[in-house]
Chains A and B, each alone.
Chain A
């Protein structure tokens, strides 16, 4: 217990924490709130209940971040107030937090309330929790009523049938609240509430509410009802869907507001799952066709993402896509909006696995080719990034003739981010196109990136080389890229000379000891006399990096003298990196003069240390 005697030292830290609950500095208050469990533990359960919680209940004037932390803390406070028996003591502070204007705080308070509702006994739930929910549901301000919407679902399954009827009534009332905020909250919790209701009540209560919310005058309410519709459809037996849910969903798919239609398109996969294959085939496919042709680009974009139709019945999937979806897809390929096209490009390749080889060659291939020539780089990139899907079905050769110009164009795009994106797909492309094709057509591109004027591209290009070598092997590297990389060591531009070093960093390990020692090391060592300091210190870093690949005789005979020389360089940075390389490799008997400074430094530290030990 927290009642110590005679200036108890152990009280001090807790006293500070309590005082800082009301410090002027928000950060200190926040820290204190985050350690609320420590305070409660020190006070004991009794004082926590009688003093701390009443204080916290009235502290709702504070900053949002403090209130948020408080709402979160209270969710796991049950033990600190004396266990499930007393858990209802936590309701008043959470109730006041559930009415503040800041949405995140309210949501967190509701989350905590939901959590502690599970710790209430069925009796406590009806005596304490349900009245709180009712109070919130009939509160004056919309903030409390919105919070109530999220609480019905957790108490409903655990209360008596009379209380259940009351809860249903409260929910009904909130669904027709005056303020759109409350109707939105009710609409978004409708699906969740439906899940805990008995099936008969779903049909008699929830369906009328759903229908009403789905035709609300506010767009923002209607669009939330779509999601509820998905949950409700999943609860109902197949034979009831047609009568109870489908008219409303059909209406939503043709809503005047594009935001509602967007929601339908966005939730299309979930919707298909919920209503099952039969309704999907007869009802949703036509609706989907319309969404693909929608006048609003946002809707088309959302719909284009779903063209694969994963949930269609297995047996008729191919025919449905061929006869109903593909014609729309063909139109989308030449859409006026780039986002629509790029959304389509990211999924269209996936269709090939569904449609099989012949259909892909006949119908999809022409579309891929059109998209590969699209004016927007993002569309082309999306096609290229999904090449593997097609590769499995028809092999990439079919595309290679069109692929190459598209790749070359992207590789030389004026925007460096586009160039960067295509570089990242190079290893994948190389793997699928094969080494011959690569050498013939793409190798020169990869080398050209090494002298790009943007560093990020040069960096990505070196990384790309490493991945290519991993794919094609060290021998290929020795014949094709190593000579070119090493050739750059004599370039007049120091940035290009540095690129050689960066490439060696990346390549040494994958190329192996022989190539590294024989071909790369001499070049690196020669560059240690470069006139640009940046090159010289990168030599030091490079040597440290490739050290593990080299054998010890080469290290001792060739690397060591060079590093020692660099360690006496006039340039500070070169010296620094040379020393770091030397110490990092643990290979040398370190000359003492190098460490004289370090020694004096550590003796000072030692002195300090001993000083603080003697009081």
Chain B
């Protein structure tokens, strides 16, 4: 008998679709469009610290921010073009406008701040509201027509009058020219004045107020590029300790660096790596062990890493093996060859913790995403698709089977669609609300909604039959 799961701290087994946003032609519609413009493909999803806002970035360099209404629904708050395609004339390289990562800054004032990055340039954006407008000109009337000068007998000071709420996004800083390779991560330090940006070979440390200078803290570039054996895949700061940062590499290792010890962090403080069983080594071993995402737990004690086939939880105090390992899609073991041929094996799946660090979520193929409850070791596969979401019904768990179908609803490995993949997911920092990006669709699911749209008090739900 499967154990009961508390709905607010457990798996979102009772997930109901809240909303689906489909991006087409730069506009956001609430209906599905089969033809998808590549520029609309969502490339990153990120909740802010309170969960009130959700930002997405896409291949077209746009950032869309959603705000949660008092009723609980997320609505589009602001859309702006963060990056434009560029051309590096010195290196004869096109620089894509695709947003690789978005990170929110801790709240400063009523405005909201976020960092967005493409391959080369990080930008700091301010999103603010304006509800007043100045009125009263001396030389012109409100329509802009010039007044007769002879009628001007007194000076008029403009006055501010209320107007319709206007949300403005303005670029505050541009951090450019510091990366020779493609930026894969940005992460804001807990001191709230610095952040890091990592590319394939280097990690730079920036001050949020200084754009003309950054410090290189990790440099993996060998003297001779032919000696290159690994690249940095992700880097992230510790949520509380300003001096700790973790970065992972394509060889499947994750390193923890202490910035207190030295100015240069080339030497790590800890190296998290699991010994590979030599009998299971194959041509694909190294490729599938490449770490595609690293997330510190909210508590700061654990590290979550995602490689091609698994998600692993590491205790910062134990370097030689993960404390937990979860198979995401073990059934792909036999398919690696064709996945290699279609380049799918290089897909970079992200992973995420829920607000209390008790559940882990990560994406898979066929628009499936997986959740693992750490306490009960239960897991579930759910599907984010238009058809499922139409009904606003509780999402039904999916099962992939390797051999013969055991049940009607089972899906065979061979029928999985590898073009439909969920790479980017985000979990609300406090509630059981998740955001799933699948191609140009953003799905927002919420666990257990009461009819009035408010989140339910914790209650015991029985898990769906297996």
Contacts and interface: CB of A to CB of B under 8 A. Distances in A.
Interface string B124-142: 0010101010100111100
Contacts of A218: 190-191, 242
A43 interface: yes
A8 interface: yes
Interface stretch (B88-96, B152-160, B249-257, B319-327): B152-160
Interface in B376-414: none
B155 A14 contact: yes
Interface in B172-200: 172, 190-193
A102 B124 CA distance: 12
B263 A257 contact: no
Interface stretch (B4-12, B16-24, B29-37, B104-112): B104-112
Contacts of A5: 153
A309 interface: no
Interface in A1-48: 2-8, 11-12, 14-16, 18-19, 21-22, 42-43, 47
B81 interface: no
A298 interface: yes
Given A103-B209, A256-B260, A18 B153 contact: no
Contact of B109 (A100, A220, A296): A100
Nearest to B159: A55
B158 A99 contact: no
Given A51-B157, A142-B108, A217-B241, A296 B262 contact: yes
A83 to B, nearest CB: 21
B243 interface: yes
Contacts of B134: 21-22, 55, 59
B428 to A, nearest CB: 22
Contacts of A238: none
A16 B155 CA distance: 10
Nearest to A64: B172
A566 interface: no
Interface in A51-100: 51-52, 55, 58-59, 61, 99-100
Contact of A6 (B108, B153, B158, B193): B153
A528 interface: no
Question: Taking chain B's interface residues, is the majority helix, strand, or loop, or is none over half, making it mixed?
Answer: loop
A51 B153 CA distance: 17
Interface in B394-442: none
B262 to A, nearest CB: 5
Interface string A254-296: 0011110000000000000000000000000000000000011
A2 B152 CA distance: 12
B239 to A, nearest CB: 12
Contacts of A43: 155, 157
A181 B192 CA distance: 7
Interface in A123-137: none
Contacts of A141: 107-110
A295 B262 contact: yes
A11 B155 contact: yes
A297 interface: yes
A179 interface: yes
B130 A61 contact: yes
B262 A3 contact: no
B111 A101 contact: yes
Given A220-B191, A258-B262, A258-B263, A6 B138 contact: no
Nearest to A22: B134
A101 B170 CA distance: 13
B279 interface: no
B149 A12 contact: yes
A181 B209 CA distance: 13
B151 interface: yes
B261 interface: yes
B191 A180 contact: yes
A82 to B, nearest CB: 17
A143 interface: yes
A19 B138 contact: yes
Contacts of B149: 7, 12
B128 A61 contact: yes
| Among B108, B110, B261: residue with most chain A CB under 10 A | B108
B132 A58 contact: yes
A219 B242 contact: yes
B152 A257 contact: no
Contacts of A14: 155
Contact of B242 (A103, A220, A297): A220
19 contacts: A2-B155, A3-B153, A4-B154, A6-B150, A8-B152, A12-B152, A15-B139, A16-B139, A18-B157, A55-B160, A59-B134, A184-B193, A219-B243, A220-B242, A257-B243, A257-B259, A258-B260, A259-B260, A295-B262
Q: Which 8 A-B pairs have the closest CB atoms?
A: A15-B138, A7-B150, A257-B260, A51-B157, A141-B109, A101-B108, A22-B134, A2-B155
